[in-house]
A and B are shown apart, each in its own frame.
Chain A
Amino acid sequence: AQSVSQHNHHVILSEAASLELGCNYSYGGTVNLFWYVQYPGQHLQLLLKYFSGDPLVKGIKGFEAEFIKSKFSFNLRKPSVQWSDTAEYFCAVNSAYLNSGGSNYKLTFGKGTLLTVNP
């Protein structure tokens, strides 16, 4: 079974600090990787996704993530955070293929990292 680990439960930064949130997954096959963000009281929104190709993926609002296959990692980064980035961040993975050749695209989520950015 797939699993996703997010290393930090709660990260507190000051504005303009750099951000890196860790995400590791366990699955030996081809995977699709996602980062979602949930602002306070809102639903999950897609930040960025990786399917194939360039392992450095750029998303919305200045976020990027790097897929390192050998480390089973997909860490999220942002060079300079803003107060408005305060939110909970979820890493998620789905297997690209099932044994039958299709996929149900089920996502396995990490437990989330709460980011607090102080002005």
Chain B
Amino acid sequence: NAGVTQTPKFRVLKTGQSMTLLCAQDMNHEYMYWYRQDPGMGLRLIHYSVGEGTTAKGEVPDGYNVSRLKKQNFLLGLESAAPSQTSVYFCASRTGAPNGFQYFGAGTRLSVL
């Protein structure tokens, strides 16, 4: 049982390049989330999904797109990377049970030069 797995762990991009971050969970969770973590800012929600085929915007969605074609996977895309997107990205998932909580992946450290 791997929990929440993020790939890649590290990535360096040049401004304007595109990339996709993959989040996979093996807990059959309904809900999945993408956050970014910046020093002194805590975690901020980028996009989230309440089920397969559905996505919604979070607090800081600009410059990102997501897809949830399969229940276990939640992809975060950067179409044209900018230095302001240098950050650590965390994926999380949880069940739909009222007393559940979010499980986090190990993170992806992205640098945009």
Contacts and interface: CB of A to CB of B under 8 A. Distances in A.
Given A9-B40, A51-B99, A106 B107 contact: no
B101 A46 contact: yes
6 contacts: A9-B40, A46-B102, A90-B43, A106-B48, A107-B43, A111-B40
A107 B104 contact: no
Contacts, number: 49
Nearest to A102: B50
Nearest to B99: A51
Interface string A32-44: 0010100000111
Interface in B11-70: 31, 33, 40-45, 48, 50, 56, 58
Interface string A78-95: 000000000000100000
B98 A51 contact: yes
B29 to A, nearest CB: 11
Nearest to A96: B98
B42 A107 contact: no
Query: How large, as a class, is the contact surface on chain A?
Result: 20 to 34
Given A46-B103, A110-B42, 8 more contacts: A43-B107, A90-B43, A104-B56, A106-B33, A106-B45, A109-B43, A111-B40, A112-B42
B6 to A, nearest CB: 9
Interface in A20-75: 34, 36, 42-46, 49, 51
Contact of B31 (A42, A46, A104, A110): A104
Interface in B68-105: 90, 92, 94, 98-105
B104 A44 contact: yes
Say what secondary structure dominates the interface of chain A. loop
Contacts of A107: 33, 43, 45, 102
Given A44-B90, A51-B98, A96-B98, A104 B43 contact: no
Contacts of B113: none
A105 B32 CA distance: 10
Contact of A34 (B33, B45, B50, B101): B101
Nearest to B56: A104
